[in-house]
């Protein structure tokens, strides 16, 4: 991904990216996005953008594997995160969902992942330490909770499900306080232009609607221009 596209994606919200994907595809029906309400640890910071590096965790019950197996997998997990192609996003499925209790994303873990150069984290699971998370590493999570439970890593580098959205290793992810989307690979090359076209087209309605004296006649004219620009 070139620097210009990365900066553009970080500057717009996830609904804009959803709409721009439809512009790029020339149709509605794109559905690679999360369902339900997610929580963002830093809603005022730029969107999280990057290539997914994935894992699965659990926390409701202690692991039933040998401690050395759990530790080896944990270290392999951190190696995977540290070496992920950047920009990278940690995308972690908590397999206890919807009964997640283990806050995998707290002050220590977020600081470690930020130190690896990652852009942020996306999970259907739990986050905590909201006043102590590092700046510049937003977490978009399914819930907030106080305890880490028996959290441990179950799988590495496999497809995961985050609130109805399948994410495969290497997928381009865009996430913010609205949730997340996976950008289809075949639109990445034209996504920048689609975003620019979308924003310019929306201004055909937004600018008149913000002017004094806006009325139904002005709306009709603005909407006609808007529909013409979309075709």
What is the reported pLDDT for 105? 98
187: DSSP letter: G
CA atoms in the 13 A half-sphere facing the CB of 203: 6
Question: Which parts of the chain have pLDDT scores under 70?
Answer: 231
- pLDDT score of 214: 96
pLDDT at position 231 is: 57
Superfamily holding 31-183: Ribonuclease E inhibitor RraA/RraA-like (3.50.30.40)
- Centre a 10 Å sphere on the Cβ of residue 173 and count the other Cβ atoms it contains: 28
Q: What is the pLDDT of residue 1?
A: 80
DSSP labels, 8-77: HHHHS-HHHHHHHHHHHHTSS----B--S--EES-TTSPPEEEEEEEEEEE-SS---S-HHHHHHHHHHH
**Tens-place pLDDT, residues 73-92:** 999 999 999 999 999 999 99
Residues 77, 56: Cα–Cα separation, whole Å: 10
Of 112, 95, 110, 98, whose CA–CA distance to 151 is shortest?
A: 95
pLDDT at 229: 85
Domain coordinates in residue numbering, the chain: 31-183, 189-230
Q: Tokens at residue 159, please?
A: 């497809």
């Amino acid at each position: 991904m070139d620097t210009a596209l990365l900066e553009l994606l970080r500057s717009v919200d996830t609904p804009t990216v959803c709409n721009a994907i439809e512009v790029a595809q020339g149709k509605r029906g794109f559905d690679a996005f999360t369902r339900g309400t997610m929580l963002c640890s830093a809603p005022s910071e730029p969107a999280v953008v990057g290539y997914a590096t994935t894992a699965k965790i659990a926390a409701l019950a202690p692991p039933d594997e040998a401690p050395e197996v759990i530790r080896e997998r944990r270290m392999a997990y951190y190696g995977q995160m540290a070496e992920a192609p950047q920009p990278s996003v940690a995308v972690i499925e908590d397999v206890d969902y919807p009964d997640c209790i283990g806050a995998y994303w707290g002050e220590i873990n977020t600081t470690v992942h930020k130190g690896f150069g990652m852009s942020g984290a996306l999970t259907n699971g739990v986050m905590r330490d909201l006043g102590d998370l590092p700046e510049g590493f937003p977490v978009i999570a399914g819930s907030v909770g106080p305890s880490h439970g028996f959290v441990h890593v179950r799988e590495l580098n496999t497809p995961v499900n985050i609130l109805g959205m399948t994410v495969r290793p290497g997928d381009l992810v865009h996430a913010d306080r609205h949730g997340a989307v996976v950008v289809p690979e075949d639109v990445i090359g034209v996504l920048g232009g689609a975003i620019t076209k979308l924003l310019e087209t929306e201004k055909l309605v937004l600018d008149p609607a913000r002017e004094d004296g806006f009325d139904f006649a002005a709306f009709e004219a603005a909407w006609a221009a808007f529909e013409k620009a979309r075709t």
